[in-house]
Copies of this chain bind each other. A is one copy, B any other.
Amino acid sequence: MTKNMPTPERIFDTMTAFQRTEALGAAVELDLFTSIAALGEDRATAKAVSEKVGAGEKGVRVLCDFLTVLELLSKKDGRYALAPDAALFLDRRSPAYLGTAARFLMSPGLKDAFRDVTGVVRRGGTLLEGEGTVEPNNPIWVEFARGMAPMVKPAAEFMAELAGEVSKVLDVAAGHGLFGIHVAKRSPNAQIHAVDWPAVLEVARENAESAGVSDRLHLIPGSAFDIDLGGGYDLVLLTNFFHHFDKPTCVSLMKKVHRALAPGGRALTLEFVPNDDRVTPPQPAAFAFIMLNTTRSGDAYTFSEYQEMFREAGFAKSEIHQPPGLPQSVIQSVR
């Protein structure tokens, strides 16, 4: 084999990529990163770490070595230390801790959706029952609301800044409620009306209490498609929602949003928006694959597609904003 010939390394890496997911999941569950950080660089041997996490030395040694190969840890003289991103995001004591994301991203409900991708591709949509993850009251959204909350702060702050001073706000598919809560914090007179399944809104209510804005959070339990949304809003938040549905469904929801907005009111849509080639940038482009496997007819729509759908729903003009460093974009549409 000459040096210029391709090697099979990337292909084997992909065939075994599931092992990396499971290794990280176990490390988060064992709170391994926190233990290593707490021990400190000169003491974090496999033996010391294994005593701290309460597992055998061999298993801990092999897991730590594998995480070192993945460059989430480093190893020097038999002692482990956290890579900079692991230190910021996987040490439970860090304010940016996102180990909880594993609860959603690696939940059995989500993983099951990828069990038979061949069948999914043949069908053109999820093999999960009914509407997949979008089935009414799917418990996965409670996992989402609890697990993903720590991740949304940068996007929520960006949207709250874009929103500016507002008074009556509708938060559709509010989940953890943090998008509305950030608007409420930015805008002292804003009243937030949050729509989601009852069990999910419970998480939003807890978060609003922690943020000290629970007196301005009003719960509207149910599906945004079925219930009366009310009216006279000057802002509607539509975060991570459209990608679950086909275009006619998105248009019908956006029509309902249009009716609920006061004249001059705005809809802010947070979405994974790939370029027209659908393969860049990597994260929004890859998101379409998640929708294929978890929903009946969802997708990652391009900005041209959103413009067209929103125009059909009555919004003459939409403009796109890119929060720096985030995989999602914000589309602002004025009634």
Interface size class of A (residues with CB under 8 A): 35 or more
Nearest-Cβ distance from residue A24 to partner chain B, whole angstroms: 5
Whether A262 sits at the interface, judged by CB under 8 Å, is no
- In the complex, which residues of chain B have a beta carbon less than 8 angstroms from the beta carbon of A292? 58-59, 62-63
Whether A98 sits at the interface, judged by CB under 8 Å, is yes
Is B123's CB under 8 angstroms from A56's CB?
yes
Partner of A299, one of B12, B30, B62, B285: B62
In the complex with contacts A59-B123, A114-B18, A7-B85 CB distance below 8 A: yes
Is B98's CB under 8 angstroms from A58's CB?
no
Whether A178 sits at the interface, judged by CB under 8 Å, is no
- In the complex, which residues of chain B have a beta carbon less than 8 angstroms from the beta carbon of A18? 17-18, 21-22, 106, 111, 114
Cα separation A57 to B125 with both chains bound (whole Å): 11
- In the complex, which residues of chain B have a beta carbon less than 8 angstroms from the beta carbon of A75? 277-279
Q: Which residue of B lies closest to A290 (CB)?
A: B19
**Which of A21, A56, A68, A70 has the largest number of chain B CB atoms within 10 A?**
A21
**Which of A6, A62, A117 has the largest number of chain B CB atoms within 10 A?**
A62
Q: Could you tell me the dominant secondary structure of chain A's interface residues?
A: helix
Whether A162 sits at the interface, judged by CB under 8 Å, is no
Whether A124 sits at the interface, judged by CB under 8 Å, is yes
In the complex with contacts A18-B111, A22-B117, A26-B118, A85-B10 CB distance below 8 A: yes
Listed by A's residue number, 28 A-B pairs whose Cβ atoms lie within 8 Å are A1-B324, A7-B325, A8-B89, A8-B96, A11-B90, A12-B101, A15-B25, A15-B102, A16-B21, A16-B290, A17-B20, A18-B114, A19-B293, A22-B114, A22-B115, A22-B293, A23-B289, A25-B118, A26-B121, A57-B124, A59-B125, A62-B288, A62-B289, A63-B292, A65-B285, A66-B286, A66-B289, A75-B277
